[in-house]
């Protein structure tokens, strides 16, 4: 069992400079994600959602504020955080197995490690495809590989940046069921960025609505529906309506839109 810890974003701001023009992207973002919690972030395109995840994984650094895990500044040399992007970003010349083990720092895999790899291949439902190459897999299967690759180093927090955005609607619904099962089995803390409001309600304990850029947290909506969730249930539809309203307040709609 992993020793899960609280992730805290404290007064996070981020600005970019393009030539000498300053672009404020995030403005005073504050969020605590509890150990084992599933939190989704939705917000207008370009508001800074991916930027926020990049700060958490250490691909970029914040202009102000701090990111804590278990009350301590995040150490990027550890494997505490894992990430899955919209595109699977696999190495085409490596098999599923080798793609998953690639990040294990070229160490000689012990029997325990090998068992763990097999366990993760099974966890994402790719037992028959360990020797397949990415070009031999569907988009959904490729995303399963990138999920296994992110989980193999047992991160305390898994970041998902629109991971199902490039998949067709049916595969996406299937992957949403799968990620719920994986989250319940692995007991990770998950922070998901999505533009799909139904996906956010279906998956999360809380939905965070971000404002336009410079983005801050506009609203936090708890989802207290029992799992597995019924997308057509009355309470689900009520929540959808509430979140649509928050979300569409943020973007300009060029036509009359009744929700
Ligand atoms: N490396 C960068 N340099 C300059 N501007 C950037 C950089 N990365 C992102 N941005 C800007 O930050 C804003 C937010 O981008 P992003 O976080 O990708 O948005 P989202 O994921 O919410 O759609 C955009 O205006 C984008 O142009
Ligand atoms: Mg993005």
- pLDDT single digits (tens) 83-122: 999 999 999 999 999 999 998 876 788 999 999 999 999 9
Query: Model confidence over 147-182: pLDDT tens digits?
Result: 999 999 899 999 999 999 988 999 999 999 999 999
Ligand 1 nearest-atom number relative to CA 49: 22
Looking only at the bridges linking them, the beta strands covering 206-210 and 64-69 are: unpaired
- Ranked by mean pLDDT, the top range of 92-106, 207-221, 245-259 is 207-221
Q: Residue 1: is its pLDDT beyond 70?
A: no
Q: Is the pLDDT of residue 137 over 90?
A: yes
Q: Which protein residue has the closest C-alpha to ligand 1 atom 27?
A: 46
Domain covering 1-80+156-259: architecture? 3-Layer(aba) Sandwich (3.40)
Residue 212 binned pLDDT confidence (cut-offs 50, 70, 90): very high
Quick one: pLDDT at residue 62?
96
- Counting residues of the chain whose pLDDT is more than 90, the rounded percentage is 84
Residue 57 predicted with pLDDT over 70: yes
Minimum-distance ligand to the CA of 27? 1
What spacing in Å lies between the alpha carbon of 50 and ligand 1's midpoint?
Answer: 7
Whether pLDDT at 50 is above 80: yes
Helical H segments across 107-233, by residue range: 111-123, 139-151, 169-186, 197-203
Distances (CA, A) of 12 to 7, 85, 135: 13, 22, 39
The atom number, within ligand 1, closest to the CA of 52 reads 17
Question: Which ligand 1 atom sits nearest the alpha carbon of residue 45?
Answer: 23
The pLDDT of residue 3 is 82
Q: What is the 3-state secondary structure (H, E, C) of 173-209?
A: HHHHHHHHHHHHHHCCEEEEECCCHHHHHHHCCEEEE
Candidate from 14, 25, 52 with most ligand 1 atoms within 8 A of CB, to mutate: 25
Residue 108 confidence (pLDDT): 85
Q: Where exactly does CATH 3.40.50.300 map onto the chain?
A: 1-80+156-259
Using an 8 Å Cβ cutoff, are 191 and 85 in contact? no
What's the mean pLDDT when you consider all of the chain? Answer: 92
**Cβ-count burial 73-94 (b if 16+ within 10 Å, e if not):** ebeeeeebbbbbbbebebeeee
Question: How far is residue 15's CA from residue 144's CA, in Å, rounded to a whole number?
Answer: 33
């Amino acid at each position: 069992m992993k020793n899960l810890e609280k992730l805290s974003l404290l007064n996070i701001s981020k600005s970019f400079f393009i030539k000498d023009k300053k672009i404020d992207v995030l403005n005073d973002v504050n969020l605590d994600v509890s150990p084992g919690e599933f939190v989704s972030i939705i917000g207008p395109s370009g508001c800074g959602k991916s930027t926020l995840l990049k700060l958490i994984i250490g691909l970029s650094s914040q202009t102000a504020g701090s990111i804590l895990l278990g009350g301590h500044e995040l150490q990027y040399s550890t494997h505490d955080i894992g990430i899955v992007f919209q595109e699977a970003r696999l190495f085409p010349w490596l098999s599923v197995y080798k793609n998953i083990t690639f990040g294990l720092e070229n160490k000689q895999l012990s029997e325990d490690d090998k068992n763990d790899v097999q366990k993760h291949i099974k966890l994402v439902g790719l037992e028959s495809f360990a020797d397949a190459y990415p070009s031999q897999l569907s988009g959904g299967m490729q995303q399963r590989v990138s999920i296994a690759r992110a989980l193999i180093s047992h991160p305390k927090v898994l970041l998902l940046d629109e991971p199902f955005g490039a998949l067709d609607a049916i595969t996406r619904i299937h992957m949403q069921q799968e990620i719920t099962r994986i989250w319940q089995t692995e007991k990770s803390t998950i922070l998901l960025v999505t533009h799909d409001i139904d996906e956010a309600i279906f998956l999360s304990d809380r939905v965070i609505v971000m404002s336009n850029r410079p983005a801050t947290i506009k609203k936090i909506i708890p989802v207290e529906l029992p799992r597995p969730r019924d997308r057509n249930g009355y309470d689900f539809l009520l929540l959808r309506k509430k979140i649509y309203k928050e979300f569409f307040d943020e973007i300009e709609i060029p036509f009359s839109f009744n929700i």
